[in-house]
């Protein structure tokens, strides 16, 4: 059963803000995000009693084989770490862009060459959890320990302490706990959270854990929204892109870009997985999209850390304000 700690809940908010000033007058900020999970998913060999049935090439049609090992699923995940992640890395290098990784610590540990390459090439290491498993029913203390263990393991595997995070599978408390847990455990500050899907630009929230502090001592938390609609995981979801071909994906990304580019001042997320868009046919569709946006003026491709740093500088936290600003 999910535990909801009332004192740590953020209120729902139905009012957005609609202006965001990107550097050098850019019309749009584009964030490429690689969900790097391969090796951190549920695995028979890791004592989970099954091989991961979610988000692989057979999708829901692959079924769940409990109490045993499912080689087909395992090897599709292995494709992501052996081939797909390097293909995506080459694409980013071809265009001279950097991405953010939602990095699972165990996955990084099991592919140290890739972990080192990510840091060497200037890509951002963001926290995605210790393993790619559900933690939604963790107790408050287990939740805190999982957060500490995640950052400690990612630091050991990559040499970086992430300043941003997206667990996606945490408890209702996880996203609010992260800043205070890391401050207490490592004296480490969080720059942003991406545990939200409700806007196209960053915004500020007041933290319940800071409610007792004088206004001038509060730091708030910057939210840099994520999304599911442009996520390559929809190749294996229903309703999704409804085909394994990359052309539908390419077309949707272009349509998303066109609308946001025309509106101006927005951010576009492109969530990727090594074992999904890292497949050759879909990677070619991704490259076509990258070519498309590279030919447009006023496009800022940035890591989420860069986006957050810009927003915080331009619209600094102000208690009670979604937008922020002096």
pLDDT per position as a tens digit, 52-86: 888 888 866 666 777 778 888 889 999 999 999 99
- All residues at 6 or more sequence positions from 234 whose CB lies less than 8 Å from its CB, including other chains: 228, 240, 241, 249
Tell how far CA 244 is from the center of its chain: 23
For residue 10, the model assigns a pLDDT of: 80
- All residues at 6 or more sequence positions from 150 whose CB lies less than 8 Å from its CB, including other chains: 105, 127, 129, 130
> By the 8 A CB rule, do 37 and 273 touch?
yes
Locate tokens 């009670």: which residue? 320
Residue ranges in the chain modelled with pLDDT below 70: 18, 59-63, 239-246
For residue 61, the model assigns a pLDDT of: 65
Cβ atoms within 10 Å of 27's Cβ, excluding its own: 17
Residue 34 DSSP SS3: strand
Read off the pTM: 0.94
Break the chain into its structural domains and give their ranges. Answer: 18-314
For residue 78, the model assigns a pLDDT of: 95
For the chain, the farthest-separated pair of C-alpha atoms sits apart, in whole angstroms, at 58
The CATH code of the domain at 18-314 is 3.20.20.370
Q: Where are the alpha helices (DSSP H) in the chain?
A: 71-79, 85-95, 105-109, 112-120, 140-158, 174-186, 246-263, 280-294, 304-314
Cα→Cα distances 102→141, 254, 326, Å: 23, 23, 31
């Amino acid at each position: 059963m999910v535990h909801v700690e009332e004192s740590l809940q953020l209120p729902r908010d139905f009012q957005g803000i609609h202006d965001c000033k990107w550097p050098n007058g850019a019309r749009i900020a584009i964030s490429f995000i690689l969900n790097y999970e391969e090796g951190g998913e549920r695995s028979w060999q890791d004592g989970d009693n099954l091989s991961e049935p979610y988000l692989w090439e057979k999708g829901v049609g692959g079924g769940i084989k409990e109490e045993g090992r499912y080689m087909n699923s395992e090897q599709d995940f292995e494709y992501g770490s052996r081939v797909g992640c390097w293909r995506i890395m080459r694409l980013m290098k071809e265009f001279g862009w950097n991405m953010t990784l939602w990095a699972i610590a165990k996955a990084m540990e099991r592919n140290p060459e890739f972990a080192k390459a990510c840091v060497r090439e200037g890509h951002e290491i963001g926290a995605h959890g210790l393993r790619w498993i559900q933690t939604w029913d963790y107790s408050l203390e287990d939740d805190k320990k999982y957060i500490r263990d995640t950052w400690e393991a990612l630091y050991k595997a990559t040499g970086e302490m992430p300043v941003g995070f997206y667990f996606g599978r945490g408890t209702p408390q996880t996203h609010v706990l992260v800043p205070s847990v890391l401050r207490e455990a490592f004296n480490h500050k969080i720059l942003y959270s991406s545990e939200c899907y409700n806007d196209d630009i960053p915004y500020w929230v007041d933290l319940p854990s800071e409610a007792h502090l004088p206004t001038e001592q509060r730091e708030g938390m910057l939210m840099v929204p994520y999304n599911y609609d442009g996520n390559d995981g929809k190749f294996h979801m229903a309703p999704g892109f409804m085909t394994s071909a990359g052309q539908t994906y390419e077309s949707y990304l272009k349509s998303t870009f066109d609308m946001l580019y025309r509106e101006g001042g927005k951010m576009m997320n492109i969530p990727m997985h090594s074992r999904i868009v890292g497949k050759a046919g879909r990677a070619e569709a991704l490259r076509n999209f990258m070519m498309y946006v590279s030919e447009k003026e006023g496009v800022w491709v940035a890591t989420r850390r860069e986006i957050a740093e810009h927003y915080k500088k331009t619209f600094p936290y102000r208690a009670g304000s979604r937008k922020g600003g002096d």
